Amino acid sequence: MKILTIIGARPQFIKAATVSRVIANNDNITEIIVHTGQHFDSNMSDVFFKEMGIPEPDYHLGIGGGNHGNQTGKMLIGIEEVLLKENPDLVLVYGDTNSTLAGALAACKLHIPIAHVEAGLRSFNKRMPEEINRILTDGVSDVLFTPTETANKNLSAEGVEEKRINLVGDVMYDAALYYGDFAELKSSILNEYELISKDFVLCTIHRAENTDDLNRLSDIFKNLEKVATKHRLILPLHPRTKAALENLKFNVLASNIVFVDPLGYIDMVMLEKHAKLIITDSGGVQKEAYFHKVPCITLRDETEWIELVQHGYNKLIKNFDTLLIEVEYSLKDVVFDNQMLYGNGDAADKIIEKLSSKM
């Protein structure tokens, strides 16, 4: 059985690492990895392959930057050429990026079966490009691997046939378990920045809805400065956010905000595990905070991971002026229990078992 895996963005490298590791132990499956190049910065891409043990891509399309249509179109052309050459039995796509959609469309047009990992997520906000990508990918995929019961319900409400839906849990939880201990052994990030465990707040800002609206971005950073008057704040700076701040000509005054370059996954896991609180607009980081039992505040109007909000582990913030108040509340009142919201950490095994039985 030949599986062609399509990845291109940082979260997909993490997800694919868990499944590729299982595939590597299966003598009946050959995996061809295609990297679209959607994350083209070496800090956002190359370091992940090295430190996570992901096999080097068989194909690197080198398609990065550009508007959504331009980028997705180029990916569609490049992926189609690879599919025609490799003729795989199945195309495996992850998440909700332009790489995901391009891979699914290319395979669909060539009548190659598609499996979508992390299917069924919905923010119900079609202004988000990710929402469009995930809806369309789910629509053309033959096998839908969902992380939660909520995702199953979303698909059922859209009329998706039950036989296409497979609840397996979240591959990101697989990664958190596998790499959590590894980070403790390999990462020196705490020493590098003289950080004390549970004595700093970790922050990530990168989503287009926050960085492309300069008024919104300015509002976010003004309130992050307020948080930094009371808590040391570590902020790995995404290239998009850095460019937006330069365009805004916003000078961050708080000396307690420490900007760092984009980090590899191992260092990021280490910061997540040892932060006392996480402020983010990332979907993946929201879950990783939960996996490591760290309270999270999300700077978005909605989230795909509604279970975290419903159980009180995550707080959505629409009015950024309340950020400092919500930080103090979360640090004091959020309590974690032993619920397993995202499976048992064996999602990758279930995915490969299901695919092997279908082919």
Beta bridge partners of 234: 202, 258
pLDDT at 45 over 70: no
Least confident of 222-226, 242-246, 300-304: 242-246
> In the prediction, which pLDDT does 47 show?
61
- Amino acid identity of residue 355, one-letter, is L
Query: According to the model, what pLDDT value does residue 264 have?
Result: 84
The CATH number of 178-333 is 3.40.50.2000
Q: Do domains 2-170+343-358 and 178-333 have the same CATH topology?
A: yes
pLDDT in tens, 3-18: 999 999 888 888 999 9
The set of residues, in sequence order, having a beta carbon less than 8 Å from that of 22 and lying 6+ positions away, is 348, 349, 351, 352
* pLDDT for 219: 93
pLDDT at 11: 83
How do the domains of the chain map onto residue ranges?
2-170+343-358, 178-333
What homologous superfamily does CATH list for 2-170+343-358? Glycogen Phosphorylase B; (3.40.50.2000)
Which residue out of 35, 116, 206, 274 is catalytically annotated? 206
Active-site residue flag, 206: yes
Q: Model pTM?
A: 0.87
Angle at 198 between CA 197 and CA 203, to 5 degrees: 105
Question: Across the strands, what pairs with 235?
Answer: 259
Sign of CA dihedral 195, 42, 76, 104: negative
